[in-house]
A = this chain, B = another copy of it.
Amino acid sequence: MNTGKVTIHDISKALNIDSSTVSRALNNSVRVSKTTKEKILAKAKELGYQRNSLASNLRTNKTNTIGVVVPRISRHFFSTVIAGIEETAYDNGYNVVICQSLEQLKREQIITETLVSNRVDGLLISISMQTTSFEHLEAFEGYGAPIVFYDRPCNFKNSSSVSIDDFEASFKATEHLILQGCNHIVHFGGPQDITLYQNRKEGYKAALVKHGLGYNPDYFFSTKLSEEDGVAMAKKIVKFSTVDGIVSANDTAAISAMRYLKSVGKHIPKDIAVVGFNNDPISAVIEPSLTTINQADFNMGKKATMILIEQIKNNRTTRLSVVLESELIVRDSSKYKND
C-alpha cells in the first residue's frame, strides 16, 4: 500500500498508458477498451489510488454536492427533514453537506460563504429566525447554484420553496378536537409577528367559527412556546375549569403543559385533549395521548431535494412554491394498558 499520494499519472507510468486514458477508464468511459479498463482498475487498486475530487471538481466546474443549512439538527422535525434530503440526494448521486446556523444570522453568513467558496451545486436552506435580509444568498445565484427554501419560505429572486399549509394544519387539529367533543379549546400561539404563527392562529379561529363555537380572545395565548411558557399557560388553564382542549403551535409547550396538568390531577385526554406539532417519538413513548400534527417532515426533505436537483440538472431557476399537506396523527393512549 502506497503513501496515498497516488495520482492518475502514477497509474499512467506504471502501465505505459496515457493519463487521459486512465482518467477515462476511472470514469468508466465507453471509449476505453474493456481490457485496458480492467488493467487500469487493477493497478489503481494495487497502488491504493484515491480520486482527488478537488482537482476533478475544479476542472469540471461541478461538485455533485448539495449544501444544506438547518437551524438546529437536534430538533426532531429537522433531523427528519434531513433524512429525506439525504435519501433523495444519495439516490441521485449527490453528496450532502449539512451545516447548522443555530438560528444565528452571523453563523448563517459564515456557513453560506463557505458553501459558496466550495461551489456546492445547489442550496437547501431553512433560514434562521434572525434572518431578514438575504444578501449572503446572492452569491449562489452568482455562479448559478439554485436555492430551495424548506419549511420557512422566502421571497428571494427565482428561488423556490417547500412548506406546509399552517392554516390548514391548525384548522385540522382544532376540528379534530371539536369532533371529539371539545367545546372549550385553547390555543397556545407563537409570536404573532411571524406569519407561520399568524396562520396557525387563523386556522384555529376558522375551525371554531365553522363549528359555531366562536372565537374567545381569553382562550388565545401568545408566547415563545418554551417549556416555561407551557407550564405558565397550563396554570392559567386550570383556573378556567371549563377548558377541555389545547391546540399548541409547537411540541415543547404542549408537552410541558401536559406534564403540569397531569401533576395537578387533570387526566389526559379525558379532561383535556392536546394537539402539538412535530412531536419527537420519545414523547409518544411517554405520552401516547398526545395527538400530533406531522409537518410532512420526511416528505418535505424529499420534495425540496427533488426540486433542487431538477433545477441543477436543467440549469435553470424557475420560481416554484410547493405546499405539502400536513397529517394528523392520533395516538392510541391505551397501547400499554390492556395487557
Stretch in contact with the other chain, from A45-53, A181-189, A208-216: A45-53
Residues in A1-47 with C-beta less than 8 Å from chain B: 1-5
Does A126 interact with chain B (Cβ within 8 Å)?
no
Does A256 interact with chain B (Cβ within 8 Å)?
yes
- A49 CB to nearest B CB, Å: 10
Q: How far is the CA of A55 from the CA of B52 in the complex (A)?
A: 12
- A68 CB to nearest B CB, Å: 10
Are the CB atoms of A53 and B259 closer together than 8 Å?
no
B-chain residues with CB within 8 Å of residue A339 when the two chains form the complex: 235, 264
B-chain residues with CB within 8 Å of residue A51 when the two chains form the complex: 117
B-chain residues with CB within 8 Å of residue A312 when the two chains form the complex: none
Are the CB atoms of A282 and B285 closer together than 8 Å?
no
Does A98 interact with chain B (Cβ within 8 Å)?
yes
Q: Which of B4, B80, B227, B286 is within 8 Å of A259, CB to CB?
A: B286
B-chain residues with CB within 8 Å of residue A52 when the two chains form the complex: 58, 117, 119
**Known A54-B63, A282-B283: A259·B336 in contact at CB below 8 Å:** yes
Are the CB atoms of A74 and B63 closer together than 8 Å?
no
* Interface majority SS (helix, strand, loop, mixed), chain A: helix
The number of times this chain is found in the oligomer is 2
**Known A1-B138, A54-B58: A259·B285 in contact at CB below 8 Å:** yes
Does A273 interact with chain B (Cβ within 8 Å)?
no
- A interface, size bucket: 35 or more
Does A152 interact with chain B (Cβ within 8 Å)?
no
Complex interface bits, A185-210 against B, C-beta within 8 A gives 1, otherwise 0: 00000000000000000000000000
**Known A117-B53, A139-B48: A336·B286 in contact at CB below 8 Å:** no
Are the CB atoms of B74 and A79 closer together than 8 Å?
yes
- A160 CB to nearest B CB, Å: 19
Does A162 interact with chain B (Cβ within 8 Å)?
no
Does A219 interact with chain B (Cβ within 8 Å)?
no
Does A86 interact with chain B (Cβ within 8 Å)?
yes
Does A310 interact with chain B (Cβ within 8 Å)?
no
Of all chain B residues, which has the CB nearest A82?
B73
B-chain residues with CB within 8 Å of residue A53 when the two chains form the complex: 114, 117-119
- Which residues of A are in contact with B by a Cβ distance under 8 Å? 1-5, 48, 50-55, 57-58, 63, 73-74, 76, 79-80, 82-83, 86, 90, 95-100, 110, 114, 116-119, 138-139, 141-144, 227, 231, 235, 252, 255-256, 258-260, 263-264, 280, 282-283, 285-287, 336-337, 339
Q: Which 4 A-B pairs have the closest CB atoms?
A: A4-B142, A74-B79, A4-B143, A53-B117
